[in-house]
Amino acid sequence: MLKRDILTSGINLLYFPGCVSTRALNDYQPTKSFMELLGIHLVEIPEWTCCGALPPLLKDDVIVLLDPVRNLINASRWGNELALSCPFCYNTLKRSNKLVKDDPELGKRLAVYMGERYDGRIEVLHLLEVLRDRIGFEEVEKKIKVSLSGLRVAPFYGCMLLRPHEELMFDDPKTPRTIEDLLTHMKCEPVDFAHRTKCCGSYMIMSTPEVVNERVHSILASALDSGAEAVVTTCALCHFNLDQRQGTVDIPVLYISQLLAIALGAGVETCRFDLHKVDPRPLLKDKGII
């Protein structure tokens, strides 16, 4: 378990990288960097596989649970806590973990396929929960080397961090404050906007891109109308949709990991802004941040 003296003692934290580690280097690299600057080494679980990318909607759908439970079993061999940065992985693994923990009979059925019994013994944490509940945003603020003062940022939560609330218990699903509070401690100016907990369209980009285009436009228009200069998210799929499908809106979309990496002194190179459609560097230079 993480302790409050983590920033002075240093610690290894078991980490599930997920497919973001190969598909979204502009999140994966700054995440590793800013955690190292906080004294935390992310140790990736060996032989991880895709989380399944399909949240468990039915408790008796055993096949859907095989991928997440396989990863949870693997992680439980190495520790009692597992941290993630991807909201899709977080949603899938945390909900699967709870299903098995709350239903011993389901665990028995899964053991037939897995060849091993799992009882939900590991705790699944999003990295924002690690920063908020285990380290504390105040402690993160003490480590900041580059001020982000004056940057007006609209936090976009999307779906997977917040819902279903009774299973995830991450934050208030209607009025979340976690990202806003972190941005405030980073000296950013968080901008409240009406669409911050809306769905971006998710995987519908593959089947009905016109629906995603409409949703992205409404989300970004809401952020701009509220005075935001940039949007920040934690989700690779949200980032892809918001950044790549915004048409003529032209507002930078950043990962919270990129802002943390810059603020903690990792340098702009680790952020891989070259992978963005809308380059955030002109805005950050104009603000004197880079």
Residue 290: per-residue pLDDT: 96
Whether 218 is in a domain gets the answer: yes
Name the residue among 153, 229, 223 with its Cα closest to residue 185: 153
CA quadruple 101, 103, 105, 107: dihedral, nearest 10: -30
DSSP 150-216: T-EEEE--TTTTTSSHHHH-SS-SSS--HHHHHHHHTT-EE---TTTTS---TTHHHH-HHHHHHHH
Asked whether the whole model's pTM tops 0.85, one would answer yes
Whether residue 155 sits in one domain with residue 90: no
Whether residue 264 sits in one domain with residue 175: yes
Whether 134 is in a domain gets the answer: no
d(C-alpha 265, C-alpha 144), whole Å: 7
Q: Kindly list the distances between the CA atom of residue 194 and the CA atoms of 10, 52, 88, 255, in Å, as whole numbers in the listed order.
A: 39, 31, 22, 20
Whether residue 90 sits in one domain with residue 51: yes
Which residue in the block uniquely carries the two structure tokens 């060996």?
46
Whether residue 101 sits in one domain with residue 151: no
Last residue of a domain, one of 127, 151, 179: 127
CA dihedral (124, 129, 133, 139) positive or negative: positive
Whether residue 280 sits in one domain with residue 150: yes
How many other CB atoms are found less than 10 A from the CB of residue 147?
14
- Read off the amino acid at residue 33: S
Whether 245 is in a domain gets the answer: yes
Residue 192: per-residue pLDDT: 96
Q: Which pairs with CB-CB distance under 8 Å and at least 24 residues apart come from 138-145? A: 138/185, 139/4, 139/7, 140/38, 140/182, 140/185, 140/186, 140/260, 141/185, 141/186, 142/7, 143/7, 143/37, 143/38, 143/264, 144/186, 144/187, 144/263, 144/264, 145/263, 145/264, 145/265
Q: Which residues of 3-25 are buried (b: 16+ CB within 10 A; e: fewer)?
A: eeebbeeebebbbbbbbbbeebe
Whether 39 is in a domain gets the answer: yes
Whether 185 is in a domain gets the answer: yes
Whether residue 51 sits in one domain with residue 152: no
Whether 173 is in a domain gets the answer: yes
Structure tokens at 227: 């005075």
Whether residue 282 sits in one domain with residue 146: yes
Per-residue pLDDT of the chain (290 residues; tens, 9 = 90+): 443 333 344 589 999 999 988 889 999 999 999 999 999 999 999 999 999 887 776 667 888 899 999 999 999 999 999 999 999 999 999 999 999 999 999 999 999 999 999 999 999 999 999 999 999 999 999 999 999 999 999 999 999 999 999 999 999 999 999 999 999 999 999 999 999 999 999 988 889 999 999 999 999 999 999 999 999 999 999 999 999 999 889 999 999 999 999 999 999 999 999 999 999 999 999 999 99
Helix or strand or coil: residue 44?
strand
Whether residue 173 sits in one domain with residue 115: no
Quote the number of domains for the chain. Answer: 2
Last residue of a domain, one of 101, 127, 153: 127
Whether residue 147 sits in one domain with residue 99: no
For residue 69, the domain's CATH number is 1.20.1050
Helix or strand or coil: residue 253?
strand
E strand or H helix at 12 = strand 11-16
CA 130 from centroid of its chain's CA atoms: 11
For residue 255, the domain's CATH number is 3.40.50.11810
DSSP code at position 131: I
Last residue of a domain, one of 127, 161, 177: 127
169: Cβ contacts below 8 Å, ≥ 6 apart: none
Residue 6: per-residue pLDDT: 38
Whether residue 267 sits in one domain with residue 182: yes
Strand partners, 152: 189
Residue 14: per-residue pLDDT: 95
Whether 41 is in a domain gets the answer: yes
Whether residue 121 sits in one domain with residue 147: no
Find the domain containing 32 and state its range. Answer: 6-127
Contact between 11 and 40 (Cβ < 8 Å): yes
Which residue in the block uniquely carries the two structure tokens 């899964």?
110
Whether 238 is in a domain gets the answer: yes
Contact between 45 and 78 (Cβ < 8 Å): yes
Contact between 93 and 124 (Cβ < 8 Å): yes
Whether residue 193 sits in one domain with residue 148: yes
